[in-house]
Amino acid sequence: MKRILMIGTGGTIASDKTNDGLAPELTSKQLLEFLPDIEKVCKVDCVQPYSLDSTNIAPQHWLGIAQVIKESYDAYDGFVIAHGTDTMAYTAAGLSYLIQNSAKPIVLTGAQKPIWFDGTDSKRNLYDAFSYACGGCGGVQIVFNGKVILGTRARKTYSKSFQAFSSVNYPTLAVIDEGRILQYITLPQTAPVKFYDTLNANVGLLKLVPGITADVVQFMMDRYDGLIIESFGVGGLPEYSDFYTVIKQNVEKGKRVIMTTQVPNEGSDLTVYHVGGRLKRTVDILEAYDMTTETALAKLMWIMGQTNDYDEIEKAFYSPVANDILHFGN
């Protein structure tokens, strides 16, 4: 029988009522009490490094989860991480860089309703997660509402519905029905597992809106080592304020900038329009293309935790990890 380590971090799945609303109260061991049949599937041990609403999860917690898995990696066949849904996609992306080439499944799951609610999705999601941790492919994945989504491709697209997560610019890896796994895509790991323990979390995210001025970009640049800019459509900068000069000057000072798009699907291409072409051609910025914003953010944190040399950052950013980037522009 497979041995699985369950890592509890809090989230809705583990929440109980308080005077101010739901808050994480249940431990991973208590969650398992709602799934007595899981002992027929695998042998489970539990650890509880955190009990947090996922709104409070930060990159330091990604490092903590990765460290738990590193210390336990040889002793278990797979890992299930119970996590809140709101920042689960960020954590899945972060873990995809901190734990690379894992031949063992590392599965994040959670719920839109606490495990003790009538009609909760918690029990199904947990059962599916354990099933996949026992019989699925290696690497970091989210298991939710019967779908298996690659950790670098997940985004929360519904705030309340059970189909909370979508796979962005990449197919769903598998579906699970009553413990039966239908695997569409396998991702064989050809290199030994590698763990990282350093991030530069001083990376910001700015969403452009109509009327925004370059002063806001400068404000962000003054405070962060790296900046992800979510632009409109296929990408570009407004021409009514001096965005170009602000970005160029800060990049020349060693700040790192990644341009991406607010549009969920099909990715960016700065070369299409004049508003992006000049920037792409003359400034050492990076472009996310078909990566999700969550993944671009986590990847830059990971890369800048290893180096601040632009050439090395560029090479690492455009080197695929866990199929995080597939399509490149000209």
Query: Which residues belong to the active site?
Result: 12
What SS3 state is found at 296? helix
Q: Are strands 174-177 and 147-150 parallel, antiparallel or unpaired?
A: antiparallel
The Cα 246–Cα 261 span in angstroms is 19
Distances (CA, A) of 110 to 15, 31, 43, 145, 315: 11, 11, 20, 10, 34
Find, among 330, 310, 328, 302, the residue nearest to 62 by Cα: 302
Q: Which runs of consecutive H residues, i.e. helices, occur in the chain?
A: 28-32, 59-72, 88-98, 122-135, 214-223, 243-252, 274-282, 293-304, 310-317
DSSP collapsed to 3 states, 90-138:
HHHHHHHHHEECCCCEEEEECCCCCCCCCCCCHHHHHHHHHHHHHHCCC
